[in-house]
Amino acid sequence: MKKVLAFILVLSLAIVTVFAGGSKESEEDGITLTLWGSSQTMVDFYEEDVIPAFIEKYPEVKDIEVLYMPIEDFVQRLAVVLPAGEVPDIMEIEDSWATPYVTAGYFEENTPELNAILDKMIPSLKDCLTWDGKQWGVPVAPFHELFFWNTDMLAEAGYTEIPDTWDEVVEAAIKMTQRDETGKITRSGFSMRLGGNPSGTSQKFWVLGLLPNGVNWYEESTTEPGKFHAGFDNEGGYNALKTYIDLLYKYKVDDFASMKDTEAFANGKTAINMREASSATSIVEQGPDINWVAAPMPKGPVQRATFLISLNLYIPKDGQHKDYARKFIEFATSEEMFEIQTAERYGFNPYVGADRTAGLDERLVPAFTDPEDLVYYSVPVHSAYDTAMIRIGEALPNIFADATLLDNPEGIKEAVHRLAEIFNDAYKEFDEYAE
């Protein structure tokens, strides 16, 4: 009955029309809703848990078709379909990707019923959905960064407890790195995000570099409230980049040639990986013999912090079945469905007072038991933000690859300043910049 259609982007309105949203049958035959998204694991969640229960509750809904697209294709498709009005009934979009379309008027403002759901969630999530004093969208899959540790490698290095401060992490990463007789890394001590998806590269630099050093991507102007400039062209930003350069060229716990990310962790090719909790599903599948535990972000030089980003459900202005789309969003983001997500997808339950560890894989429990000093950051509702993140993410790999930055304070400061100029230029394009 329900269909999952995977397709690759073709930027033409003819193709867009083929995949237009809305009902494909008359309502006499039953309503068919359409939902587009870019997360394959969320497709499974909708298909297996949400949709059957929703149709049982609302039998007049005949079907809900979930259309999956790879991330880069989906982001580009948004720019085509929303202005053209060829949209589904519901869109699942990461918060920063949606912002330019929220501010341009392509989505419906939340109803009081949807805002009532937000009122029950932690405040930082409402912050990333508020624009012009109103709320747009509801979180369906919040996620945060945490550390995965290979416990066998930790024990081999002489550890009986998980390192909890950044200095301890670096020391452990050095001890757990292995090389062959030529000096080539055969097992990285810490798998660093050095490239790939630009937004992902920026996100990792944000949470591993900037936030522990007490700075964020942006600061609000003191002379023009509501406008912003780069908040990291300073000592905090310098220390953030120095962290990466030292890990690569002083401590040599990783390099560009080593296997990366979850693949590396699941194959025993790295000792520490920083990723969202849902990657544990891949670790379990690809590395069933790997012994591991997850832990919160370590305490940095200034603070212990992580981001809280979310996939949100939005209703396009041109959607055909808005009432049932809202009912679906209420249902999919209910406390009951988040409890299922926690157990099945290792998701973050955003409801205030919720037991975030209920049904969770016991190896993830320590990472969901927040230290008192943990600070959550969310993305801002700035039209320029996503553009800035993409451009910075495109620039970072070349900066990371520059070994001459080691023990080169002026070079690091200049590199940080260039990144700040990239950020500021993006905000100028959207008229959101001011000193």
Instruction: Tell me if 366 is assigned to some domain.
Output: no
Kindly state whether residues 319 and 215 are assigned to the same domain.
no
Same domain for 298 and 322? no
CA 264 – CA 266 distance, rounded (Å): 6
Q: Are residues 178 and 258 located together in one domain of the fold? A: yes
* HEC sequence for 388-404: HHHHHHHHHHHHHCCHH
Quick one: 104 and 148 in the same domain?
no
> 90, 313 in Cβ contact below 8 A?
yes
400 domain residue, yes or no: yes
- 351 within some domain: yes
Tell me whether residue 150 is exposed, middle or buried, using C-beta atoms within 10 angstroms of its C-beta: 0 to 12, 13 to 18, 19 or more.
buried
Is residue 337 in some structural domain? Answer: yes
φ, ψ for residue 291, nearest 5 deg? -95, 125
Residues 376 and 355 in one domain: no
pTM of this structure: 0.88
CA distance 170 to 426: 34
Examine the domain organization and report whether 17 and 87 are in the same domain. Answer: yes
Same domain, 229 and 346: no
Question: Residue 71: is it exposed, middle or buried by C-beta count within 10 angstroms (0-12/13-18/19+)?
Answer: middle
Examine residue 435 and state whether it is found in any structural domain, yes or no. no
- Total count of domains within the chain: 2
Residue range of the domain that includes 187: 144-308+371-429
Q: Judge whether 382 and 190 are in contact, CB under 8 Å.
A: no
- Residue 170 falls within a domain, yes or no? yes
Same domain, 398 and 266: yes
Burial class (CB in 10 A: 0-12, 13-18, 19+), 354: middle
Same domain, 258 and 386: yes
* 132 and 50 inside one domain: yes
CATH of the domain at 32: 3.40.190.10
Residues 348 and 389 in one domain: no
Q: From the centroid of its chain, how far is CA 260? A: 18
Determine the residue type at 26: S
Q: Is residue 365 part of a domain?
A: no
Residue 96 forms part of a structural domain = yes
Q: 236 and 289 share a domain? A: yes
pLDDT in 10s for each residue of the chain, 435 residues: 444 333 333 333 333 433 444 444 445 578 999 999 998 889 999 999 999 999 999 999 999 999 999 988 998 899 999 999 999 999 999 988 899 899 999 999 999 999 999 999 998 888 889 999 999 999 999 999 999 999 999 999 999 999 999 999 999 999 999 999 999 999 999 999 999 889 899 999 999 999 999 999 999 999 999 999 999 999 999 999 999 999 999 999 999 999 999 999 999 999 999 999 989 989 999 999 999 999 999 999 999 999 999 999 999 999 999 999 999 999 999 999 999 998 888 989 999 999 999 889 999 999 999 899 999 999 999 999 999 999 999 999 999 999 999 999 999 999 999 999 999 999 999 999 999
Give the end of a domain, one of 360, 395, 420: 360
